[in-house]
Structure 1
Amino acid sequence: MSKTTPATAFLRRSNIPFETLSYDYDPSADRLGVHAAAAMGEPEDRVFKTLMTEVDGAAVCVVIPVARELSMKKLATAAGGKSARMMKPADAERVTGFKVGGISPFGRRKATPTILAREALEQPYIVTNGGARGVQVKLTPADALTAMNGVPGDVLAPLN
């Protein structure tokens, strides 16, 4: 797929190697990220979702595996704050320049601190949103961290 988005244009300008993947976006899917992983034939632990949050009122981008949940307490600690919450969808769209369901950690309108779940570092590659619904990018965790100007962090809720 050759669709250019602000995220893929950013990766190209930054000389970050990546592969573009696509799938049929289904807004009615219960868990969009899990649906995307299945539609692309990728393991759920290699497909990551982008969440926009607020830590002590400041925007923080968090990238975690699609089948896992974010721990707000761990996020607050990882970001050096006291409390964390999910950002409202309209605010996330305004801050990132992307539509919900297509928010990418790359090429966002406003740079914000970014945390990549440390579990990503255990993978040979990760797949994350490429800046549009149904568009994903595949790259190494090291390249992802560089491109998102992020840090790895312990942010996942425990498995049940």
Structure 2
Amino acid sequence: MAKPRSQGGPATPATVALTALGIPYTPRAYEHDPAAPSYGLEAATALGVAPERVFKTLLAEADGRLVVGVVPVSTMLDLKALAASVGAKRAVMAAPVLAERKTGYVVGGISPIGQKTALPTIVDESAALWETVLVSGGRRGFDLELAPDDLLRATGGAYGDIAR
């Protein structure tokens, strides 16, 4: 996989972080439709990738602290499982304005990589079934393809059974 500087891809905090870490990835851009009902399913369709291989980034508040859940776009985040995976009793979705402020990204383009505030990150264990997965590259219409273990390394995350 190439880095965006070699392919002329857009620089985002996510691509900058991956480049700094020496993690290989492939930039995958597509034409974003503002009317699309689901950013993740739009990406899967536009890029011709199985929805189970495209992961969305969601922020939740678990016992008052923010955590990141990364799950396939074909699934839902199991808040109870996410809470348990970080040793909390319960979790609720974070307000979009809070998610944007803490990550530095806009909703629909929140990458788990290169966030403004480093947060505990749990990636659904199904990611390990794939050679590569896709996550947001930091803006709508731009994904990054990388190995699941490299995603963990880039985020300081862990695998967990958090999708339903």
Give the TM-score category using the shorter length: over 0.9
Q: 1:37: how far off?
A: 0.3
> C-alpha deviations, 1:102-132, integer Å up to 9, x for none?
1001100000000000000011110000111
Matches within 5 A, 1:1-160: 2-157=9-164
Runs of 4+ in 1 over 4 A off after TM superposition: none
Unaligned runs of 5+ in 1: none
AA of the residue aligned to 1:48:
F
Measured in 1, the distance between the counterparts of 2:96 and 2:60 equals: 10
**1:41 is aligned with what amino acid?**
G
1:27 CA displacement? 2.5
Question: When the two structures are aligned, how many residues end up with a matched partner?
Answer: 157
The CA RMSD over aligned residues, in Å, is 0.8
- For residues 77 and 27 of structure 1, the distance between their equivalents in structure 2, rounded to whole angstroms, comes to 35
Please give the alpha-carbon distance, in whole angstroms, between the structure 2 residues aligned to 1:83 and 1:60.
12
Cα separation, 2, equivalents of 1:10 and 1:96: 13
Distance in 2 between residues matched to 1:14 and 1:131, nearest whole Å:
17
For structure 2, list consecutive stretches of 5 or more residues without a partner in the other structure.
1-7
| Residues in 2 aligned to 1:156 and 1:52: alpha-carbon distance in whole angstroms | 14
2: CA distance, partners of 1:72 / 1:106:
21
Residue-by-residue CA offset, 1:5-61 (whole Å, 9 max, x unaligned): 111011001111000001111232122201110001111111000001110110101
SS at match of 2:101: helix
> How far, CA to CA, are the matches of 2:67 and 2:129 in structure 1?
23
